[in-house]
Amino acid sequence: MQVIDQKISNARQNRRQFPKLRQIITVGFNQKEFAQLKKFKNGSIGFEFIEIDNSFSAFHWLISNSNHTKDSPAAILLNLQYLINDNFRLINQLNSNDHLKYIPLITINTNGVNISAQKLIKNGIDDMYSFHSDWYQMIKRIEFLNKFKRDILQNTKVKIKNTTYKVSFGKRMFDVTFASLALLAISPFLIFIAIAIKLTSKGPIFYYSKRAGTAYHVFDFIKFRSMKVDADSSLKDLAHLNQYDGEDNETDGPNFFKLQNDPRVTTIGKFIRKTSIDEIPQLINVLKGDMSIVGNRPLPLYEAEQLTNDDWIKRFHAPAGLTGLWQISKRGKKDMSVLERIQLDIDYAETKSFGMDLRIISKTIPAMIQDEQV
């Protein structure tokens, strides 16, 4: 305990001497690994490392030094192997603290530990790097998480400089008119689908999930339920089936999740997913103003949180849409990579127009009969 108190005293003294420095806590690294971290850190400005050996000491340090948001460290870097051996104890402690749970958590894979990104995300980790990663990119990630992690966890609207988009009056009028007429025209069919869902599987008719749309605006995304109840809780058991869990995805892009022949899908769910009937209730999202008919698909929060670099953020300059450019380009194809999907979203954000929207709408129905979508 005396050693811990001395580290706290030194940290406070450093803060008085260098008030502009942001602190990064490192946990679970041996001396050689910590020296390597400092080597990669050299050249960055405005950060200092606080070296802590174990999760108990780290939590004690954080409780003693982080009384307000402005006092919180910029991030916590954790040795992945130590974190696993410690059974994610520090993460559990942080998540149970109303203030500390917003600190960005980054793991460093020092010895090639084989673990899925989905498991780390489920356990509260924000990102994973190796010693061979670019320190500049890691800092960019930390800066992003410092700005937006609290907002994403609280499911609030996030206002991002240079990442705003306002739907034009003409596009909004088109969206409302199109959605209203479509819902009115197919309402008898929708009632039939709702009854079929209710009769063939236990659970509600609709499925709601939090999605991030335009400028990271978080809203309740509505679909006809196509899966068994509590399907989300079984994701960890299906990580090995992730269609995006390939070598290219692990090294070059964020980790998205998609299953082919998903065992959680119900009998009626297979039909409504293949024909995209499960997506029709999103017309209600359009009427509410959460989405447009055409745009970039709103993302699950864990996916949106990974799109942090300057290029990827551009896809949020467009409205969230019921259909979009990548849906009609290679919808449902197995060879569609995460990076290709993001690039198509960026292309739409940079070239969007009413004429393009009409072309996308005209191609959407043929695309709907292809294999399952993401």
- In this structure, of 118-122, 215-219, 252-256, 353-357, the range with the lowest mean pLDDT score is 252-256
Tell me which H or E stretch contains 197: helix 169-200
* Cβ-contact 210, 228 below 8 angstroms: no
pLDDT of residue 312: 73
Phi, psi of 322 (to 5 degrees): -70, -35
pLDDT of residue 110: 82
The closest alpha carbon to 107, from 90, 89, 125, 94, belongs to 125
pLDDT digits (tens, 9 = 90+) for 173-217: 999 999 999 999 999 999 999 999 999 888 899 999 888 888 778
Task: Provide the pLDDT confidence category of residue 124 given band limits of 50, 70 and 90.
Answer: confident
Task: Provide the pLDDT confidence category of residue 333 given band limits of 50, 70 and 90.
Answer: low
Tell me if residue 178 falls in helix, strand or coil.
helix
In angstroms, rounded to a whole number, what is the distance separating the alpha carbons of residues 117 and 235? 12
pLDDT of residue 134: 72
The mean per-residue pLDDT over the stretch 64-76 comes to: 74
In angstroms, rounded to a whole number, what is the distance separating the alpha carbons of residues 344 and 325? 6
Per-residue pLDDT at 137 exceeds 70: yes
Per-residue pLDDT at 96 exceeds 60: yes
Top-confidence residue, 152 or 113: 113
**Could you tell me the residue ranges of all domains in the chain?**
2-153, 169-368
pLDDT digits (tens, 9 = 90+) for 223-249: 999 988 765 544 554 444 454 444 343
Per-residue pLDDT at 293 exceeds 90: yes
Tell me if residue 293 falls in helix, strand or coil.
strand
pLDDT of residue 220: 92
Per-residue pLDDT at 290 exceeds 90: yes
What percent of the chain is modeled with pLDDT above 70? 71
Per-residue pLDDT at 284 exceeds 70: yes
Class of the CATH domain delimited by 2-153? alpha beta
- In this structure, of 150-154, 173-177, 178-182, 324-328, the range with the lowest mean pLDDT score is 150-154
Which residues does residue 207 pair with via DSSP β-bridges, in sequence order?
223
pLDDT of residue 303: 76
Per-residue pLDDT at 221 exceeds 50: yes
The tokens for 365 are 């129905």
Q: Name the range with the highest mean pLDDT among 145-149, 260-264, 275-279.
A: 275-279
**How far lies 106's CA from each of 24, 117, 308, in Å?**
10, 12, 14
Tell me what the pLDDT averaged over the chain comes to. Answer: 77
Top-confidence residue, 249 or 258: 258
Length of the chain: 374
pLDDT of residue 252: 47
Task: Provide the pLDDT confidence category of residue 282 given band limits of 50, 70 and 90.
Answer: very high
pLDDT of residue 93: 84
- Tell me the Cα Rg of the chain: 23
Please provide the distance, in angstroms rounded to a whole number, between the alpha carbons at the two ends of the chain: 51
The residue whose two tokens read 């008085």 is 16
Which residues touch 27 (CB under 8 Å, ≥6 apart)? Answer: 52, 53, 54, 55, 58, 76, 77, 78, 79, 82, 83, 90
Per-residue pLDDT at 163 exceeds 60: no
In angstroms, rounded to a whole number, what is the distance separating the alpha carbons of residues 8 and 65? 8
* Cβ-contact 214, 165 below 8 angstroms: yes
The mean per-residue pLDDT over the stretch 36-49 comes to: 66
The tokens for 54 are 């174990």
The tokens for 155 are 């499911």
Which residues touch 243 (CB under 8 Å, ≥6 apart)? Answer: 258, 259, 260, 334
pLDDT of residue 259: 57
